[in-house]
Amino acid sequence: MSEKTLTRMDLSEAVFREVGLSRNESANLVESVLRHMSDALVAGETVKISSFGTFSVRSKTARIGRNPKTGEEVPISPRRVLTFRPSHLMKDRVAAGKKR
C-alpha cells in the first residue's frame, strides 16, 4: 500500500472539484471549517460531527512526571487535552479498507 499524506491543499482541491468555487475560495472555506471547530474546542465545547466522529476536551489534573533520561522528578501542570472518538461509520470504513 503506498501511504500518502494529504494536506489542506488536497481538501481544498476536493472542495474545488465538488462545488466549483475558485481554488482560493475553496481553500478559505476549508480553513473556516478548521477554525470554527478549533474555536469551539478552545471554548470547551464538544464538537460532534455525525458519521465522522466526536472531538472532546478533557481536563487533566497535575501529576508528578519523570524525565526518562535523567530519572529526575518534574511536576506536570494541569492541562486540557483533546480526544477524538471516531464514529462507527469511520471505524468500519477504515477497517474495511485493508481488505482491498
Partner 1 sequence: MIRSELIQKIADENPHLTQRHVERIVNTVFEEIIEALARGDRVELRGFGAFSVKARDARIGRNPRTGEAVKVDDKKVPFFKTGKLLRDRLNGK
- Which residues lie near partner 1 (CB under 8 A)? 1, 3-8, 10-11, 14-15, 18-19, 21, 26, 29-30, 32-34, 36-38, 40-42, 45-53, 55, 57, 79-82, 84, 86, 89-91, 93-98
Distance CA 41, CA 22 (A): 29
| CB proximity list for 58: less than 8 A, separation 6 or greater | 80, 81, 82, 83
Q: How far is the CB of 48 from partner 1 (least distance, A)?
A: 5
C-alpha grid cell for residue 44?
A: 470547551
Q: How far is the CB of 67 from partner 1 (least distance, A)?
A: 20
